[in-house]
Amino acid sequence: MSIFGKIKDAIFGKKSAPAPAPSPTSGGTLQPPPSSGAATTSPTSQTSQPQPQSQVDVEQVLTGIASSKGNPDLNWRTSIVDLMKLLDMDSSLANRKELATELGYTGEKDGSAEMNLWLHKEVMRQLAAHGGKVPANLTD
């Protein structure tokens, strides 16, 4: 599984696992979250609200994880390293290089502040593109 996929599953899986009844395998259903695809593939399970899966409040989920783990000092709002640590992921340079490659980073993959800032913003943008509700200040 891709590193971004692990990040997405850690965030979306915890929040949306109780909501969608049709997905006993969380990985398969969480991958295609476009609203048109999700609404057409399972209309009976999501007739009253076709959006619960696509409206995962990323900030709320991450704040809840930080609070439950007692890690309020991790700066996950701006740091890709802290975000990965919060999600119990390896935040090594090798993993961040792999994430940069997955997400299409074209700069030098040297662990620079520029790369890390780009990674964080792009992860947040991708979470939003996959159905997450992400505050604008985390994607700009």
**At a CB cut-off of 8 Å and minimum separation 6, what does 50 contact?**
35, 38, 39, 43
pLDDT tens, position by position, 76-87: 999 999 999 999
pLDDT tens, position by position, 83-138: 999 999 999 999 999 999 999 999 999 999 999 999 999 999 999 999 999 999 98
Task: Report the share of the chain in percent with pLDDT over 70.
Answer: 70
Q: What is the DSSP string of the chain?
A: --HHHHHHHHHHHHHHSSS-TT-SSHHHHHS---HHHHHHH-TTTTSS-S-TTT-EEHHHHHHHHHHHHT-TT--TTT-HHHHHHHTT----HHHHHHHHHHHT--S--S--HHHHHHHHHHHHHHHHHTTEE--HHHH-
pLDDT band, very low/low/confident/very high, at 72 (cuts 50, 70, 90): low
Q: How many other CB atoms are found less than 10 A from the CB of residue 113?
A: 7
At residue 44, the pLDDT reads: 44
Least-confidence region, from 12-21, 28-37, 60-69 = 28-37
Helix axes 58-69, 113-129, angle to 10 degrees: 120
Global pTM value: 0.71
Q: What is the CA radius of gyration of the chain?
A: 15
